[in-house]
Amino acid sequence: MADVVDVYRSPHVLEYPYVRSTGPIVGAYLTGLRDGRIMGAKGAAGRVIVPPTEYDPETAEELTELVEVGPGGVVTTWAWVAEPREDAPLAEPFAWALVQPDGADTGILAPVAASGPEAMASGMRVTASFLPTDERQGRVQDLRCFVPEEAS
């Protein structure tokens, strides 16, 4: 065999096809997204947690009361994605942001479809943009992104 050997390269994909049960709270959140609504859980002292948790993060009490929040909200923090990867939620450059929906006391990590980083700011108003009804599957991706309110 020859002294010089080509070094082989190949794509290698590792995939685990998990299916999991959602439980009542996450299930209600995903059902809400599928139906075009953002649901939060009412926690201790009336604090609304979004996405909803099964237990209050501070008191550990079980949470069962769900309330609708949004669709508008406020960007609290954000990071600009100038070169989205293949599996990014949006093909065009976008921001990953923590968006605190109206009526909620916490933020959702979600994409914000803005024209550029200069169009992003903490405190800016955004509103939810869902996939078309027939494309929603009860997944977090059903809430496609938030868009700046003036552009909506």
Residues forming contacts to other proteins in the complex (CB under 8 A) are 1, 5-22, 26-28, 30-31, 34-36, 87, 133-134, 138-139
Closest distance of CB 23 from other proteins, Å:
8
Q: Which long-range contacts (CB under 8 A, 24 or more apart) does 61-66 make?
A: 63/25, 64/24, 65/41, 66/25, 66/28, 66/29, 66/32, 66/39, 66/40, 66/41, 66/42
**CB nearer other proteins, residue 103 or residue 138:** 138
Residue labelled with tokens 């929906």 = 101
Q: Report DSSP state, residue 35.
A: T
Closest distance of CB 45 from other proteins, Å:
28
**CB nearer other proteins, residue 87 or residue 118:** 87
Closest distance of CB 134 from other proteins, Å:
7
